[in-house]
A and B are shown apart, each in its own frame.
Chain A
């Protein structure tokens, strides 16, 4: 059974503090969507709202054609995996996994059989009689995963499930999670603050800030085409140059940056979105060049990155980072132009406060 999850115009408060504002989100059937953001951005709140541990002040939550908004948490039929694993310390691995089935009134023999099958599937067949205290972190999280999966929930939710594991295990586990989620075709909502983790396993990622979704897109689009300055900064566009349009002449738009330097943007290569905008690029999107078009700069410290040299550049608009080819190392103090590469730059509307 695959269903979709829809959050429509959700607003939520903690006491009098508004933590989510008019949030809408659709997770398609069998899709894995991540909520990504720093702590306090509202991602965990969103998950707890869907789980039923919190109630929204406005809006509706639909799972398929079931309205979850006011349904008690224990009737929602959602598989949850927690950051702290949240295994039942007084129950064996088998009884932990069988717990959800027991709540559904399944007989002992049947639920033990199903639990054992699921424990086998997560690779812990030999540990079914152990207690959580005698398992490693990775094993615990596998048990937690098995416990959430065994009830065959239409929706799986993960709350920072890998944060307590070491780096190597994190990568293994996220592959495992993705594999099981796809094998079952379960719709999933995944909360994390780790960009690499979110991008690597998600169909789509929602980048959140201050209780709102800043952009919801595929990892590919988020990585290369952020829709606003916040997302650009978040995904590593280290150069953010505020600009203002001063004139339009024929096939180019002339814009001025802080410090007075100007740059002409050819209309066929750049789309200037507003009077005030931000030129956002990664270091590889600014090429160090001696041609006369670009941002005038003085080269500073040069660092070797393996695939290129990176330069700290002093410009009228402040310090920027730019890459140059390995074939031509340049010395500090040289006056150059930094040339924005159209396919690696984003012109974004300036943040309106």
Chain B
């Protein structure tokens, strides 16, 4: 056998693996600990902290808020992002190049800057209600995912297919819904899910826009940690993690993750 793997390479691979997986194991372990503080390895075994999430009204409320925000923000973002991606793909030649990059700005500028400027403009400047500001903030935050992922699908779409539909008597607006959309469905679902996860896990933008009475789950998590530092934090984290992993698994099974690397 000539194909011996160098022991150092094995060691390095194992270390990397532990580094990636370790924290997840620790947090799952911690969330099961039968103690009133965060500890690892867990002492005793209980699901009490998971039950706790739903007993603390602040968590119940913020879970609802976070999911509503993720759905609403992503929906708004899609309504802007899909037409934008369509225009960018269809009129690639005619439109100036920088226009495509404008839609990626929310990723490029530090999120904390985005959050702060949104607070100054939307929440304080325009004086909008907290929930409205949050919705707008999240829509903006996830817009790059919508435009980029849907755009990747549209760039692979042959627009003469749309022209063919029009030539056969289908008005252009109808061709968009009956011909274009069904063929970029994968991109739209993928974009929606990525945006959804980004919104659900966001702290930096939300922290500037939440206020009295309205908070999101990650923000509530931070607040809870400051006050209690009990394994509820771990259990919420695990919950968020599983929702994210679950959603990604669905994407992987249905569409493949290759679009992420494009």
Residues in chain A within 8 A of chain B (CB atoms): 15, 51-53, 72-80, 82-84, 86-90, 99-100, 103-104, 144, 147-148, 151
Contact = CB atoms under 8 A, between A and B. Distances in A.
Q: Which of A82, A147, A151: most chain B Cβ within 10 A?
A: A82
A111 to B, nearest CB: 12
Contacts, number: 65
B169 A77 contact: yes
A220 B8 CA distance: 78
Contacts of A100: 168-169
A87 B158 CA distance: 10
A168 B102 CA distance: 48
Nearest to A132: B161
B99 to A, nearest CB: 16
Contact of B167 (A51, A89, A90): A51
A104 B164 contact: no
Residue in B160, B167, B172, B175 with the greatest tally of chain A CB atoms within 10 Å: B167
A53 B165 CA distance: 12
Interface of A is mostly: loop
Contacts of B166: 52-53, 73-74
17 contacts: A15-B94, A51-B167, A72-B171, A74-B167, A74-B168, A75-B169, A80-B164, A84-B158, A86-B158, A86-B160, A86-B164, A87-B164, A90-B183, A99-B165, A99-B170, A147-B164, A147-B168
Contacts of B7: none
Nearest to A103: B169
B163 interface: yes
B160 A76 contact: no
Given A72-B171, A73-B172, A74-B171, A88 B163 contact: no
Contact of B161 (A52, A76, A87): A87
Interface of B: 94, 158, 160-161, 163-172, 175, 179, 182-183
Contacts of A72: 171-172
Contact of A89 (B160, B171, B183): B183
Contact of B163 (A51, A77, A144): A51
B157 to A, nearest CB: 9
Contacts of A79: 167
B110 to A, nearest CB: 38
Contacts of B160: 82-84, 86
A82 B163 contact: yes
Given A82-B164, A89-B183, A103-B169, 15 more contacts: A15-B94, A51-B163, A73-B166, A73-B172, A74-B166, A74-B167, A74-B168, A79-B167, A83-B160, A87-B161, A88-B164, A88-B179, A88-B183, A89-B161, A144-B164
Task: Pick the most buried of B158, B164, B166, B168: most chain A CB atoms within 10 A of its CB.
Answer: B168
A271 to B, nearest CB: 46
Given A87-B161, A90-B183, A80 B167 contact: yes
Contacts of B171: 72, 74
A83 B164 CA distance: 11
B163 A103 contact: no
Contacts of A84: 158, 160
A174 B128 CA distance: 65
Contacts of A80: 163-164, 167
Contacts of A77: 169
Question: 6 tightest A-B contacts by CB?
Answer: A100-B168, A103-B169, A86-B164, A80-B167, A86-B160, A86-B161
B161 A104 contact: no
B168 A151 contact: yes
A331 B182 CA distance: 70
A78 B167 CA distance: 6
Nearest to A147: B168
B158 to A, nearest CB: 5
Given A51-B163, A84-B158, A89-B161, A104 B169 contact: yes
Contacts of A83: 160
A79 B183 CA distance: 23
Nearest to A75: B169
Nearest to B157: A89
A311 B72 CA distance: 78
B92 to A, nearest CB: 14
A110 to B, nearest CB: 16
B90 to A, nearest CB: 12
A353 B170 CA distance: 45
Contacts of B161: 86-89
B170 A74 contact: yes
Nearest to B179: A88
A316 B167 CA distance: 56
A180 B74 CA distance: 50
A77 B168 CA distance: 7
Nearest to A48: B163
Q: Which of A15, A78, A103, A148 is packed against the most chain B CB atoms within 10 Å?
A: A103
A103 B169 CA distance: 6
Contacts of B158: 84, 86
A162 B27 CA distance: 62
A53 B179 contact: no
